[in-house]
Amino acid sequence: MAVRTVPRAAAPPSPPPPRRRRRDGQARAAWLFLLPSFAGFLVFTAGPVVAAGVISLLDWNLFSPPTFAGLDNFWRLGADPTFWSALVNTAWFTLACVPLTIAVSLALALLLNRGLRRMAVFRSLLLLPYATITVAVAFVWIWLYIPTGGLVNAALGLVGIDGPAWLISDTWAMPALILMSVWKGFGFGMVVFLAGLQAIPQQLYEAARVDGASPWQSFRKITIPMLSPSFFFVVVTSIIGSFQVFDQALIMTNGGPGTGTTTLVMYIYRTGFENYDQGYAAAQSLVLFAFIAVITGIQFLLQRRLVHYDN
């Protein structure tokens, strides 16, 4: 991420104070301002990141002294079927959840944008799922997914479909989690897209209409390119979020049936805090980080070709 420096306003025409002293004073002041944040950052973010790397090389159960294990924890990962299952589940969850959530967010943003002023109420209400407690609404969704006569299957029954035993089905447990997660998460993208749509200058559409462009052409040539920065932002953040899915899977399926909905974060949690295998859990968390870093990196490379920034 490049940080662009903002051009400074012209200095007022006063005789400059002796340069060196001013610089030193500034640096001292800067470090005083930075101190609380920087101390916390070192102890609770930077330090732990380094420590995670160290712990991943240890065999450690928190209670007895750790022993050095070298890369054993990483070799174990390769031969651990539960880990592979968790990895595949998390990838599948992300591949399904992110495009669906974005499709819903974008469609609703376009819809709300058509109505503009009078849509404030709808926007608030549509944001409601995003502002609920994940654990609390996960309960409701378990209830909605009750196989015989639950609301989801009752609705499917109306159109003649015999609904599955959602959360205990090998096939349908993951789709059930995905559907719930789309419902819970679309509000975020909707707000970002709505802000992006409202930032597009109306003159562009006016000009296109004068030139005889169809609504579809306007959408293709104006809306999509102008919205691409918002789109990029939502894709990146959604993928990072999806890779860390945990709450709803823990509550709704507890990772089951079998390991059918065990996610990476759930497996890290169990390894570290139920089996007290801290070294192994740290190794898993670094693999999770590596996946997120690689995928995010690829997206930033693609961004140069696909995202249109209007300067």
Partner 1 sequence: MTTELTRKLVVFACFLVTAVTLIPVVMMVLVAFQSDAESMAATPSFWPTSWHPENLERAFDLVPLGQYLLNTVIFAGGTTLLETATAALAAYAFARLEFRGRGVLFGIYLATLMIPTQVTLIPQFALVAKLQGIDTWAGMIIPHAFTALGVFLLRQFFLGIPRDYEEAARIDGANRWQAFTRIILPLAVPAIATLAVFKFIGQWNNLLWPLVISNTDATRTIPVGLQAFQDTHGTQWNLLLMAATVTTVPLIVIFFLTQRWFVRGITMSGFGGR
Please, what is the minimum distance in Å from the beta carbon of residue 205 to partner 1? 9
Number of residues that bind partner 1 (CB under 8 A): 94
At 58, give phi and psi (nearest 5°): -115, 160
Through-space distance between the first and last CA atoms of the chain, rounded to whole angstroms: 17
Phi-psi bin for 62: left (phi > 0), alpha (psi -120 to 50), beta?
left
- Residue 179 binding partner 1, by CB under 8 A: no
- Residue 74 binding partner 1, by CB under 8 A: no
Choosing from 19, 20, 114, 304, the residue that interacts with partner 1 (CB under 8 A) is 114
Please, what is the minimum distance in Å from the beta carbon of residue 33 to partner 1? 4
Choosing from 168, 204, 213, 240, the residue that interacts with partner 1 (CB under 8 A) is 240
- Residue 75 binding partner 1, by CB under 8 A: no
- Alpha-carbon distance values, 200 to 19, 203, 212, 225 (Å): 45, 9, 19, 10
Sign of CA dihedral 254, 257, 259, 262: negative
- Residue 118 binding partner 1, by CB under 8 A: yes
Strand partners, 68: 58
At 201, give phi and psi (nearest 5°): -60, 130
Please report, as residue ranges, which positions from 243 to 302 form the binding site for partner 1 (by CB under 8 A). 243-244, 246-247, 250-251, 265, 268-269, 272-273, 278, 281-282, 285-286, 288-289, 292-293, 296
CB nearer partner 1, residue 68 or residue 273? 273
Please report, as residue ranges, which positions from 211 to 230 form the binding site for partner 1 (by CB under 8 A). 215
CB nearer partner 1, residue 70 or residue 115? 115
- Residue 71 binding partner 1, by CB under 8 A: no
- Residue 88 binding partner 1, by CB under 8 A: no
C-alpha–C-alpha distance, residues 90 and 83, integer Å: 10
Angle among Cα 254, 156, 251 to the nearest 5 degrees reads 15
Task: State both tokens at 54.
Answer: 């160290």
Choosing from 175, 229, 241, 257, the residue that interacts with partner 1 (CB under 8 A) is 241
Choosing from 86, 87, 96, 108, the residue that interacts with partner 1 (CB under 8 A) is 108
Please report, as residue ranges, which positions from 123 to 152 form the binding site for partner 1 (by CB under 8 A). 124-129, 131-137, 139-141, 143-144, 146, 148-151
> For partner 1, which stretch binds (CB under 8 A), given 79-87, 89-97, 120-128, 221-229?
120-128
Choosing from 91, 100, 111, 235, the residue that interacts with partner 1 (CB under 8 A) is 111
- Residue 164 binding partner 1, by CB under 8 A: no
C-alpha–C-alpha distance, residues 264 and 262, integer Å: 7
C-alpha–C-alpha distance, residues 95 and 293, integer Å: 16
Residue type, 78: G
- Residues near 90 by beta carbon (within 8 Å), at least 6 away in sequence: 242, 243, 245, 263, 264, 265
